[in-house]
A = this chain, B = another copy of it.
């Protein structure tokens, strides 16, 4: 027998999101920091030294406050990551009055650009439970709005955004993982990275189990590979959506 139907000690945890608490009325002393400052400082650290370097202690030191002071602004480190995600998400600016296709394309390119400019973003997305921050929600709204009036039901509209979004995140994540690995291991140039992987690649090819992959490594023009692949994939996605929905 499991007496689980009255145990609300753990059940209805109504977590209030940080966004709802952002500008609370002032009673007591004036806060010395703003959420914006905190997010910005966190982004700076992450950009310079990677996401692992963003600790509450380091962040507090950079802001000139005690470590625990930060917890007056964020309820946990996850909250901090949400702030940081939202901060860099603000860098995305979409053209007004564009059709859904141009809008989606612009969103895709810019989300990728943000992800590459802030390589920690991918890892942050994977860690944070509630990644729908206001600045991202606003862009969702923009794209949904551009799809309105095309005789689509709302599920289809959301599916369009979801598909583009999924592709961009996956593609960017793939690119970023490699760069971050390079940074962590102290490599600086693309050339150095290729050199570091060389023994492993050689070993793989020597196994003779991956002939087609081997051909790609030998014949492939690894010139601007990632950028080209992204644009190729994106256009495929947009074409596929347009055709399937007749828009």
Q: Is the CB of A199 within 8 A of B141?
A: no
Binary interface encoding of chain A residues 176-202 relative to chain B, with 1 for a CB under 8 A from any of its CBs, else 0: 011011001111000010011001100
**Any B CB within 8 A of the CB of A151:** no
| Known A163-B229, A203-B20, A240-B239: A209·B141 in contact at CB below 8 Å | yes
Q: Which residue of chain B has the shortest Cβ distance to A192 in the bound complex?
A: B12
Binary interface encoding of chain A residues 216-246 relative to chain B, with 1 for a CB under 8 A from any of its CBs, else 0: 1001110001001100110111111101100
Q: How far is the CA of A129 from the CA of B166 in the complex (A)?
A: 21
For chain A, give the interface size range: 35 or more
**Any B CB within 8 A of the CB of A16:** yes
- Taking a contact as CB atoms closer than 8 A, the residue among B14, B140, B165, B177 that contacts A213 in the complex is B140
Q: How far is the CA of A128 from the CA of B20 in the complex (A)?
A: 34
**Within the oligomer, what is the number of copies of this chain?**
2
Which of A25-33, A55-63, A66-74, A118-126 lies at the interface with chain B? A118-126
Q: Is the CB of B155 within 8 A of A166?
A: no
Q: How far is the CA of A13 from the CA of B165 in the complex (A)?
A: 36
- Taking a contact as CB atoms closer than 8 A, the residue among B127, B129, B184, B195 that contacts A129 in the complex is B184
Q: Is the CB of B125 within 8 A of A229?
A: no
Q: Is the CB of B240 within 8 A of A236?
A: yes
Contacts of A6 in B (CB 8 A): none
**Any B CB within 8 A of the CB of A145:** yes
Q: Is the CB of B235 within 8 A of A159?
A: no
Q: Is the CB of A163 within 8 A of B233?
A: yes
Q: How far is the CA of A145 from the CA of B155 in the complex (A)?
A: 36
Contacts of A123 in B (CB 8 A): 126-127
Q: How far is the CA of A237 from the CA of B141 in the complex (A)?
A: 23
